[in-house]
Structure 1
Amino acid sequence: MLKINLDKDWEYLEGNLAFLSQVLLRDDWKKVDLPHDIAIEKPRSKDNPSGPDEGFTAGANIFYRKDLVIDKELLGKNLILEFEGIMGYSEIYLNGTLLKKHFYGYSSFLVDITKYVHEGLNTLLVYINNVHKPSSRWYAGTGIYRHVWLRVGGEVFIKPWELHVKSDVIDEKKALLDIKVGLKSGKRIGGKLQFRIFSKEDELIKEDEENFEIDEEEKVISKILEIYNYRLWDIEDPYLYKLEVKVLVDGEESDVDSTYFGIRKIEIIPKVGFKLNGRVIKLKGGCIHHDNGILGSASYDRAEERKVEILKQNGFNAIRTAHNPFSPSFLDACDRLGMLVMEEFFDVWTMGKRAYDYHLFFEKYWEEDIENTIKRDFNHPSIVMWSIGNEITWGSGVDWERDEGYASIFEWSERLSKKVKELDSSRFVTSAFCGIPFENIKVENVEENGIVILGVWQEGEEVREKWGKITEKYFKTLDIAGYNYKIDRYRYDAEKYPNRIICGTETFPYTLYDNWKETLENSNVIGDFVWTAMDYLGEAGIGRASLDENEARNFLGHFPWLISNCGDIDICGDKKPQSYYRDIVWGLRKDPYIVVLPPEIYGRKIYLKMWGWEPVERNYNFKGYEGKPLRVYIYSDADEVELFLNGKSMGRKIAGDRVKYKVFYDLNYEEGRLEVIAYKNGVEVGRDILETTGDPVGLRLIPDRNIISSYEDLSFIKIVAIDELGREVTDAKNKVRVKVEGVGKLLALGNADPVSQESFVGNEISLYKGRALAIVKSLGLSGEIKLKVWGEGLKEEEVIIKCE
């Protein structure tokens, strides 16, 4: 079916559901284009019942309205609305008639409006209820936060999400394409399907036809095509083909649809691991949430693509969509850029984790939501695994000793797995299983070098055996066993369950070295997915460091905490210290890397959970602390490192594998220059320098792209404080102001401060660690967008983005 984008020219207002005629007559509607997340616009408050889970953000009841003009030509077509995602309990009305209710904010859904439209002006109304809090364990947002489309088809049409391609690699030269086309018509009719396959370079490489007959029932037409001298889709060469299918009736085109696909082969083999196109690879994975940082949950195509670009640039080859389906544009980016995906369906099943989460609707709608997701995403070569659930052991209602409860998770695991495999037998099915709080588990604090890790679980042999027996039942019908925070079981389970394929579906960032070492040394472990690859809104402060043990024992932070603070990459897209450490562990960086524990917290105990990281900084500006002690950390895979302070050696120390790539020096602060040299076999292999800078006097603006599309495209512009020598000032806190001129607008302005109370939708923001981020959007016109930035004691700077 033809897809027409409906993102432009909506109106919205907040309010409770009432007589629709009265709502439509109100004069306080505001104009808006989609995608839209109203929650990111509203002030946060410690009194908001969403609490730290959703970053103390406010919920809302909101109406959206759009005029839908149907001309005579469209009136004779089959018309279906496609909503990629609406956050909140939603109701879809057309011309006052309720057509659909939907309750899962992360799954796409369709609404057939063919029988409900008339020629001329039609009124599409969407009502969203999202005030019942708490409803999520992380920031979800509120509104129509993904795209909306109008699907248009002829008398016989290809149903949305039902043009599927499954590839089968026969040998190096030949591949088979198993194509299935879901057709629909209102009467008995015959015709012809025309198949055409195009290369990435848009060259027609294959065409064929198939006759069909269809009655009022829906029908699936199958077609096998052979492709010779094909190119594989791979993470290093993500080659995509395009399939176009036309429906011809009496020689005239009734409908046409197309899809991109890739040809690739995936395998899992005990004692071998995961194979992509015949070679064994380990998944360098990261869990991420759906939000787009300072944009909130609004799903702009470029924002989704940029996330994948950043993770790819930082060595990740796999992503877990925690804990729900992501947008089509995100998956499209994974296809284009070569990123493997574990797409997850649910965080809860029958038992909830928060009072108003999806468990209230799961039993009625789980099948529909899984079916919609798999059908929608079937053709993405990036997806290699479906995950049916995350940590369902929480509040599962099961008596573990007797396997009894409201709804056994073992039965549900089998039921969901069976459903997934009925819909798609070409991919693997997994689920993330976590620890179970048995009575005899010991929970201890572990202290090392002044860092106190709170709440470390210690499992004895009895608990080890219990967990194993329970997971045998849970994983029985799954292909891959998802282990959350269970790297200590890898070696044990390799012997106990030699045929079990394991994936580290979540691991702590603080144990990064051990996570990867255990993954590499156990052939049945196919990969490691850190929690998390990128910071996200909500689950606020899970990765925070604290000097107060009592405060640190709280699972999440108190107001004004907003951000998780556990990611390798911050919400503005910049690398944090743990990301540079990962570079060393993964062998991506040969130079050592310097970070500093500030003198104001030197010598004090620092409390954190294993989602946290030492509160170190890439900063050597500590005015007023001259002569005071501080700690300098060096990340390096070399044999030894030697630190110099203003040219004076602080001595050589053992580095590399023997100290898990992390070395520290205690010294007294004096401004100037830190330099570290790394040695292997006595020979220098790399160095790093960190200097004291001057005060900030200017700004450097760094756009991710200087040329963008003129239609609804984004440019992300880093705002960086610099001193008079042009060096980045990483402790600058100046407030900056932004003005946009030309054919675009300022979409968002923010920083990565995890406790910031500043709005992301204004035109001024404080620098955090010397940085901020501005996002500008093109408005459909060719020309230039000029961004001007100035601030307290900072010279004005500008950058020009071209829109073509």
Structure 2
Amino acid sequence: MIRVPFHDGWSVGPKLGAFESRTEATAAVPVTLPHDALRDLPRSAESGQGVHAGYIPGGVFEYVRQFEVPLEWADKSVRIEFEGVYRDATVFLNGDFAAHEHNGYAAFVVDADPFLRFGEENTISVEARVHRDSRWYTGGGIYRPVHLVVADPVHIALDGTTATTADIDGERAVVEIATIVENDTRHTATRRVRWAIADADGADVASGNAPITVLPGHSATARLRVAVENPRLWGPDSPHLYRVRTELADAAGVVVDEDETRLGIRRLQLDAARGLRINGESVDLRGACIHHDNGPLGAISVADAEQRRVRRLKDAGFNAIRSAHNPASRALLDACDLHGMLVMDELADVWTKSKTAFDGSVGFDERWRGDVAALVVKDRTHPSVILYSIGNEILELATPHGATWSRRLAEEFRRLDPTRFVTNGINGIIANLGHLAEIAASDPNTMMADMGEQMALMNASPFITDSIEESAAVLDVVGFNYADSRYDLDAELFPNRVIVGSETFPDRIASLWADVRRLPHVIGDFTWTGWDYIGEAGIGRVDYTDAPGYEPTGTAGPFPYLLAQCGDIDITGHRLPASFYREIAYGLRAEPAIAVHRPQHHGRPVAKTPWSWDDVVSSWSWDVEPGSAVTVDVYADAEEVELLVDGVSIGRSAVGSPRALIARFETTYRRGELTAIAYRDGAEIGRSSLRSAADPVLTVRAEGSEMSADGVGYVEITIADADGVLLCDADRLVSVTVSGGSLAGIGSGRARTEESFGADAVTTFDGRALAIVRADPTADQVRISVTADGLEPADAVFAVRQASSSSRPDIIAV
């Protein structure tokens, strides 16, 4: 099989009518895939997609590429594999319709054979449409990888090998391997399938083979059961991976096709008394909901970006992610396999009732089986995936017909993959929007509560208990969005029910995690969100209500808000104070963490949403007058905290106010070293410090010494002193030039901005910015040079590592 990336040589422009010609304004521009057609479009307050997409407009786009088809391919099977095109992808080959895929997150394969012209140049075009079809930023176009696949007419199906391990003990694991072989010829074909399982060092630990006969125009499945002795198990703390190598040989023993499949040997167990167990050990899910965009790159999915994101989430204390509200990319799942990150992979945000004007509800009743199959085929080789989520806050879930859909979807997942658990993100309020008055009447206190408390109280009402019972009963794990009020209640009402907090408010993690530890039937918590994202703009912002022209806008952030501003980690990958608070709540951090409220806003009235954190920064470098009032929070799992400036105590404060795990101090600002010491039973249990920065220096740091020729490299840009201490109040415009490559994206953590990710300059935020680069095809190094007014220029260099023949580790090219 020849399986190569199909990423170069494309152009994209707005889709024109049949009788229109391109002008200078509509000219197509060259691009490299994956590509986000929306990211660089001009934003405005009048954008039709509005706050959902961060005021980035939609559109209809056409990608075009020419490619040579050699004569020797005439007796081969030629396919083009798309991992994701957003949305309503329509593919034409040499002007003829070849395929359509409505789902913007589903992989699909185009059978190119009927359309190709052998021995000459061929043209492929792909149309994609994005318009008011989502509640978040989707991106648009061919935003996930594409591969050209050339194989023998009798070949292994794409994603055709699965390996499962239901029978595991301390001495061996029985691996059940199944490989689908397809026959595109007019004759019956008999072949032999050979398998070998290799460990991480490449040594074969088990093997076997079997003959297979495939009728013309059909497929058949070859199977093997083989034992791996003394298996090394895959788990969150030890993600050991094996490889299953599959060969297809003809009658003479010549290998005509080959692929590799990742295998993680692990055992899942689940019950209300013991919770979730992996390989016999109890695991509580320290979960992060994440959206699929990659910040300054837009919506594109590339391996380097997904690896970096998963590593940083893991370093921040998370051991699980929820792919909200759509199926995860292959690259993200590969990263989770490698780093031991558990995954809840989600099918959809809507079923048959719409949430936006042109969303996926249209035609769902006809497409749903294909959507489920596409997700399962992608996920079933990934040990990181332990939960399939059939939906999120589904509108019709509380009706009899909605319960029928719940059962239908859950059973289809089980039919296709019985090795994983099924859940659903249930919000009883969303499912009962037409009955809010009845719910509130059952508990008048709900109308006196704030939004977060109101949601919790309503979700625990008897009305919602009854209305969601059937839809919850079809699940292995009941996911509750903002309904921790049900945790103790359901232990009494439904003693066999297993629950996960599938979406929760970020500032309640201390009590939420205490519930997870206290209640065995509650197996984890997924905060909204672990990583900030584009769209749902300003949902987690902090407003100062005395600002000129301030008007309450609910949870929607007014233009020019671009980012949600609700992640523990910002879009550049920088951990915010909320992340350290969560790490302390999880019991993973002994040292206190210091968070300083911006002194220039001291005393001003604020408005927050349930997804907001305080407007704080871990810094003691401020451009305010000495003696200015400042509020300092110290996060600590302690009884009290002492605060010192330059070694002089300014007092002690009890932990627990204004929230659990926080000690608050009112003091004044002066340059120096700020130190927090945490105490329990009168003894010090940890300390941490912040120091004021000296004169600013522009610093540019490449993350790693090399980058892949087919990947991206990350460059951190900071305004800091010579020792690396950031200056929060010294933000300025930084300009970036790249030699040996190109700028793939640039940005900062600033949520309210009119700057573009596609520019060559950006204003730092709290002293930080991020540049992302691609290498030129022939470059052996990439140099990034950065300038800023008043500071000495700085640069960084990547050596370029040549790309492998395949961008996916589970299939090789031969």
TM range (shorter): over 0.9
Q: Does 1:761 align with 2:754?
A: no
Larger displacement relative to structure 2 (493-502 or 357-366): 357-366
> How far apart, CA to CA, are the structure 2 residues paired with 1:726 and 1:271?
49
Task: Return the offset for 1:321.
Answer: 0.5
Task: Return the offset for 1:24.
Answer: 13
For the residue of structure 2 that corresponds to 1:68, the secondary structure is: strand
CA contact (8 A) 1:95 1:122 kept: no
User: Aligned AA for 2:241?
Assistant: L
Q: Which residue matches 2:40? A: 41
> How far apart, CA to CA, are the structure 2 residues paired with 1:127 and 1:258?
29
Q: Which residue matches 2:424? A: 431
Q: Which residue matches 1:629? A: 629
CA deviation vs aligned residue, 1:148-198 (integer Å, no higher than 9, x gap): 112222131111122111112331111111111112213312121111221
Task: Return the offset for 1:461.
Answer: 9.0
Task: Return the offset for 1:316.
Answer: 0.8
Larger displacement relative to structure 2 (157-166 or 654-663): 654-663
Q: Which residue matches 1:372? A: 374
For the residue of structure 1 that corresponds to 2:424, the secondary structure is: strand
> How far apart, CA to CA, are the structure 2 residues paired with 1:540 and 1:375?
33
> How far apart, CA to CA, are the structure 1 residues paired with 2:365 and 2:26?
40
Change (3 A) 1:579 1:45: same
CA contact (8 A) 2:623 2:729 kept: no
Q: Which residue matches 2:806? A: none
Larger displacement relative to structure 2 (601-610 or 748-757): 601-610
Aligned partner (choices 522, 537, 541) of residue 540 of structure 1: 537
CA deviation vs aligned residue, 1:324-350 (integer Å, no higher than 9, x gap): 112111111111111111110100000
> How far apart, CA to CA, are the structure 2 residues paired with 1:642 and 1:444?
40
Task: Return the offset for 1:418.
Answer: 1.1
Larger displacement relative to structure 2 (321-330 or 680-689): 680-689
Aligned partner (choices 281, 288, 293) of residue 290 of structure 2: 288
Aligned partner (choices 791, 795, 804) of residue 794 of structure 1: 791
User: Aligned AA for 1:490?
Assistant: Y
> How far apart, CA to CA, are the structure 1 residues paired with 2:671 and 2:260?
62
For the residue of structure 1 that corresponds to 2:797, the secondary structure is: strand
> How far apart, CA to CA, are the structure 2 residues paired with 1:72 and 1:60?
38
Q: How does 1:649-728 map to 2 (within 5 A)?
A: 649-655=649-655, 660-696=660-696, 698-709=697-708, 711-723=709-721, 726-728=724-726
User: Aligned AA for 1:194?
Assistant: R
Q: How does 1:394-473 map to 2 (within 5 A)?
A: 396=396, 403=399, 408-436=401-429, 437=433, 438-439=436-437, 440-441=439-440, 442-443=445-446, 454=451, 456-457=453-454, 464-473=461-470
Q: Which residue matches 2:800? A: 803
Q: Which residue matches 1:227? A: 228
Change (3 A) 1:444 1:690: farther
> How far apart, CA to CA, are the structure 2 residues paired with 1:239 and 1:657?
43
Change (3 A) 1:27 1:140: closer
Q: Which residue matches 2:731? A: 733
Q: Does 1:179 align with 2:177?
A: yes
Task: Return the offset for 1:601.
Answer: 3.0
Task: Return the offset for 1:702.
Answer: 2.4
Change (3 A) 1:464 1:445: closer
Q: Which residue matches 2:359? A: 357
Q: How does 1:513-532 map to 2 (within 5 A)?
A: 513-532=510-529
CA contact (8 A) 2:477 2:498 kept: yes
Change (3 A) 1:463 1:317: closer
For the residue of structure 2 that corresponds to 1:369, the secondary structure is: helix
For the residue of structure 2 that corresponds to 1:562, the secondary structure is: coil
For the residue of structure 1 that corresponds to 2:367, the secondary structure is: helix
Task: Return the offset for 1:724.
Answer: 5.7
User: Aligned AA for 1:777?
Assistant: R
> How far apart, CA to CA, are the structure 1 residues paired with 2:225 and 2:136?
44
CA contact (8 A) 1:707 1:801 kept: yes
Task: Return the offset for 1:17.
Answer: 4.1
User: Aligned AA for 1:288?
Assistant: I
For the residue of structure 2 that corresponds to 1:712, the secondary structure is: coil
CA deviation vs aligned residue, 1:482-510 (integer Å, no higher than 9, x gap): 01111121111112111001011001001
Aligned partner (choices 273, 276, 281) of residue 275 of structure 2: 273
TM-score, normalised with respect to structure 1? 0.93
Q: How does 1:291-306 map to 2 (within 5 A)?
A: 291-306=293-308
Q: Does 1:201 align with 2:201?
A: yes
CA contact (8 A) 2:455 2:483 kept: no
CA deviation vs aligned residue, 1:564-609 (integer Å, no higher than 9, x gap): 1111000000011100111211122222111112234333332212
Q: Which residue matches 1:449? A: none
User: Aligned AA for 1:296?
Assistant: G
Number of positions where the alignment pairs a residue of Structure 1 with one of Structure 2: 784
CA contact (8 A) 2:599 2:624 kept: no
Two-structure CA RMSD over aligned residues (Å): 2.3
> How far apart, CA to CA, are the structure 1 residues paired with 2:651 and 2:555?
40
CA deviation vs aligned residue, 1:699-752 (integer Å, no higher than 9, x gap): 12222212222x2122211111023665321222111111112x3222111111
> How far apart, CA to CA, are the structure 1 residues paired with 2:19 and 2:223?
48
> How far apart, CA to CA, are the structure 1 residues paired with 2:112 and 2:24?
23
> How far apart, CA to CA, are the structure 2 residues paired with 1:363 and 1:784?
51
CA contact (8 A) 2:577 2:617 kept: yes
> How far apart, CA to CA, are the structure 1 residues paired with 2:597 and 2:257?
63
CA deviation vs aligned residue, 1:529-550 (integer Å, no higher than 9, x gap): 1110000000111111123398
CA contact (8 A) 1:508 1:531 kept: yes
For the residue of structure 1 that corresponds to 2:616, the secondary structure is: coil
For the residue of structure 2 that corresponds to 1:65, the secondary structure is: strand
For the residue of structure 2 that corresponds to 1:39, the secondary structure is: coil
User: Aligned AA for 2:250?
Assistant: V
Q: Which residue matches 1:558? A: 558
> How far apart, CA to CA, are the structure 1 residues paired with 2:274 and 2:452?
34
For the residue of structure 1 that corresponds to 2:377, the secondary structure is: helix
> How far apart, CA to CA, are the structure 2 residues paired with 1:23 and 1:79?
31
> How far apart, CA to CA, are the structure 2 residues paired with 1:47 and 1:540?
14
> How far apart, CA to CA, are the structure 1 residues paired with 2:242 and 2:589?
34
> How far apart, CA to CA, are the structure 2 residues paired with 1:685 and 1:204?
49
CA contact (8 A) 2:746 2:760 kept: yes
> How far apart, CA to CA, are the structure 2 residues paired with 1:126 and 1:475?
44
Q: Which residue matches 2:240? A: 239
Task: Return the offset for 1:754.
Answer: 0.1
Structure 2: gaps of 5 or more residues: 802-814
> How far apart, CA to CA, are the structure 1 residues paired with 2:459 and 2:27?
64
User: Aligned AA for 2:83?
Assistant: E
Q: Does 1:164 align with 2:146?
A: no
Q: Which residue matches 1:62? A: 61
Q: Which residue matches 1:478? A: 475
For the residue of structure 2 that corresponds to 1:358, the secondary structure is: coil
For the residue of structure 2 that corresponds to 1:40, the secondary structure is: coil
Task: Return the offset for 1:640.
Answer: 1.8
Change (3 A) 1:10 1:572: same
User: Aligned AA for 1:140?
Assistant: T
Q: How does 1:593-612 map to 2 (within 5 A)?
A: 593-612=593-612
For the residue of structure 2 that corresponds to 1:479, the secondary structure is: coil
Task: Return the offset for 1:75.
Answer: 1.8
Larger displacement relative to structure 2 (549-558 or 630-639): 549-558
> How far apart, CA to CA, are the structure 2 residues paired with 1:664 and 1:468?
39
CA deviation vs aligned residue, 1:405-458 (integer Å, no higher than 9, x gap): xxx210100111111111000000110001315314255576xxxxxx655316
Q: Which residue matches 1:578? A: 578
Q: Does 1:749 align with 2:746?
A: yes
Q: Does 1:11 align with 2:11?
A: yes
For the residue of structure 2 that corresponds to 1:209, the secondary structure is: strand
Aligned partner (choices 312, 315, 318) of residue 313 of structure 1: 315
Q: Which residue matches 1:450? A: none
TM-score, normalised with respect to structure 2? 0.92
Change (3 A) 1:598 1:272: same
